[in-house]
Homo-oligomer: A and B are copies of this chain.
């Protein structure tokens, strides 16, 4: 590895001068500059960021902690896009991203501190205590995709869960549906609470009585969860004419269960999902769903974190717009 010492020796100036030229700070002569830059170039010099970070107290590394309590969530298409877009956005701004899995969260937290990450993005559900620990170590944090009730001021980036849900139900109501099932995800997830609120609000504005028998809770929001929830929903009388699933994976389960009973989607029962994962447009029938912008989510999380790293102190709440995508399941 070539160091400033090597460059200093070869260009006949001191390390200090080399350092000043290379970091473009302080003053130096054009002559020195030319010599130093030329040698650095020839030697393909790259500054050692560890050494730099020791002094500047800034590594230009951010941590991305992925939640994995429910299913292997990193491999979930939804979170994968966040990782991808976060990496891209961070790279553009001169940061690198280190990915951690919250399965061994305490371990990750220790790593984050030891490795001097500048800040952390927590994607998905996290325990309050995690945010607390980070905050008490003065590490900037941005929460993504779900929020938690904390006494600490924390920035977060979430989807407009309420609005997306509201729009979906309103569309269903406008299409003539009056009995609409709703499948709620894990109870500790704020996102699903918001989606339920949007559901209720649409009923209210549509002046339709809301019947709680059609709201079902499902702790494992995947295909199997959707199937189980649908079994409950289809035990009601009258049958719902539409089902709004808390997410796309559950929605696919809903369709599968409906089909298995010899009923047809959307003729007998219409189905709407939430997320617009890649499969939703590929599945048959293609799923009507509330699209969230996963790419933007990663980007905004990075942007907000960097904003904090650069000194902003107030916590920011960023709500990303959703869009109803109408396909074949309604």
Contact = CB atoms under 8 A, between A and B. Distances in A.
Given A49-B115, A97-B99, A114-B47, A80 B76 contact: yes
Given A74-B83, A97-B99, 5 more contacts: A50-B53, A84-B101, A96-B111, A98-B98, A282-B283
A108 interface: yes
Interface in A87-131: 87-88, 91, 96-101, 103-104, 107-108, 110-111, 113-116
Contact of A107 (B91, B113, B252): B91
A118 B239 CA distance: 60
Nearest to A294: B75
A322 interface: no
Interface in A32-55: 46-51, 53-54
Contacts of A76: 80
Nearest to A59: B50
Nearest to A92: B104
Interface in A242-298: 252, 278-279, 282-284, 294
Of all A-B residue pairs in the complex, the 9 with the closest CB atoms, nearest first, are A74-B84, A80-B80, A75-B81, A75-B80, A49-B114, A75-B84, A46-B114, A46-B113, A50-B50
A80 B111 CA distance: 22
A61 interface: yes
Interface residues of A, number: 49
A104 B99 CA distance: 19
Instruction: Count the copies.
Output: 2
A223 interface: yes
A299 to B, nearest CB: 13
Counting chain B CB atoms within 10 Å of each CB, the highest count among A49, A72, A99, A282 belongs to: A99
A77 interface: yes
Given A80-B80, A97-B98, A88 B110 contact: no
**Majority SS at the chain A contact face:** helix
Contacts of A83: 74-75, 80, 83, 99
Contacts of A50: 50, 53-54, 59, 115-116
Given A77-B77, A108-B91, A282-B252, A114 B48 contact: yes
A49 B51 CA distance: 11
16 contacts: A46-B110, A46-B114, A50-B116, A54-B54, A74-B83, A75-B278, A77-B80, A80-B80, A87-B99, A88-B103, A96-B98, A96-B111, A96-B115, A97-B98, A98-B99, A99-B99
A256 to B, nearest CB: 8
A73 to B, nearest CB: 8
Given A53-B50, A110-B46, A88 B75 contact: no
Nearest to A116: B50
A289 to B, nearest CB: 15
A77 B249 CA distance: 14
A150 B101 CA distance: 34
A40 B59 CA distance: 24
A217 B79 CA distance: 32
